[in-house]
Amino acid sequence: MYDVLVRSTLFGIRNADKIVNTNDKGRIFADVGQFTKAARTAAQLDNVLGKGTSAALDAMNCAANGYKVLQKAGKAATWASNHVNPLLIGAAGYRVAIADDKPQALKRETLGMTTMFMTEAAMTHFFKSNYMKTVKSLMKNKYAIVALSILEGVTFVLGSIAGSTIGYKIGDMLFPQRKKKAETKAIIDKTLKEIQNTNQAIKQNETNKTNTDKNLLA
């Protein structure tokens, strides 16, 4: 359970940072879902954090009674917490929609999201494997079990980020933006012009040298 809490919180913080510091506003709904999931998970913990979070959620539910707007907001947040992945896909669609080069953005987002979900699926399969079950069954110290759960959560986040990053990098290499193609052409044209000017300068120097030699011989 701690792994779910850790990864939901870390994903929420990461997405919040992207929402604030970049133009990736489409992540806001997924971010709400991730923080809501983190809060709901924390409320299920059998410790001070769990009891405090549970009490806070109960207080918010009581405060929302009689206010339809707040009740609908709470239901929307709960729905978002159960549909984070579709909302992340929606955020990718938003990035495609606002991109200057939409075909390139679509291919890039498809690769990035695919590698991210494939990496997450592989990690989930490993964490639920018989090997990990055996490891956990041999652990008797409750703090060690919690530490392993937290480690799983952190590893999941890092793996997910690495998977998406690799996908996006491959997308950038395979499908460069049209703007970047234009910039590359401009650089090539500038380089060719400089080579041409250099050749002309060399020829002019050779001509001047030849004329100087003739004058000396005369």
Domain ranges of the chain: 1-98, 99-176, 187-218
**pLDDT for position 214:** 57
Angle at which helix 102-127 crosses helix 142-174, to 10 degrees, equals 150
- Close Cβ partners of 152 (under 8 Å, ≥ 6 residues apart): 3, 127
| pLDDT band at 85; cut points 50, 70, 90 | confident
State how far the Cα of 41 lies from the Cα of 57, in Å rounded to an integer: 11
For 146, residues 6+ apart whose C-beta sits below 8 A from its C-beta are: 2
pLDDT at residue number 94: 87
Among candidates 17, 39, 43, which has minimal Cα distance to 28? 17
DSSP H stretches of helix in the chain? 2-21, 28-43, 48-64, 68-82, 84-98, 102-127, 130-138, 142-174, 178-217
pLDDT at 48: 44
Using a 10 angstrom Cβ sphere, with 0-12 exposed, 13-18 middle and 19 or more buried, the burial of residue 103 is exposed
Distance CA 113, CA 72 (A): 30
The residue with tokens 């004329």 is: 211
Determine the pLDDT at residue 135. 87
| pLDDT digit string, tens, across residues 95-144 | 888 888 888 889 999 999 999 999 999 999 998 899 988 988 888 888 88
Contact 55, 66 (CB under 8 A): no
User: What is the pTM for the complete model shown?
Assistant: 0.66
Cα–Cα distance, 19 to 26 (Å, whole number) = 8
| 46-55, 189-198, 199-208, range with the lowest pLDDT | 46-55
Distance between CA 113 and CA 167 in Å, rounded? 7
Query: Phi first, then psi: what are they for 46, rounded to 5°?
Result: -95, 65
Give dist(CA 130, CA 190) in Å, integer.
Answer: 60
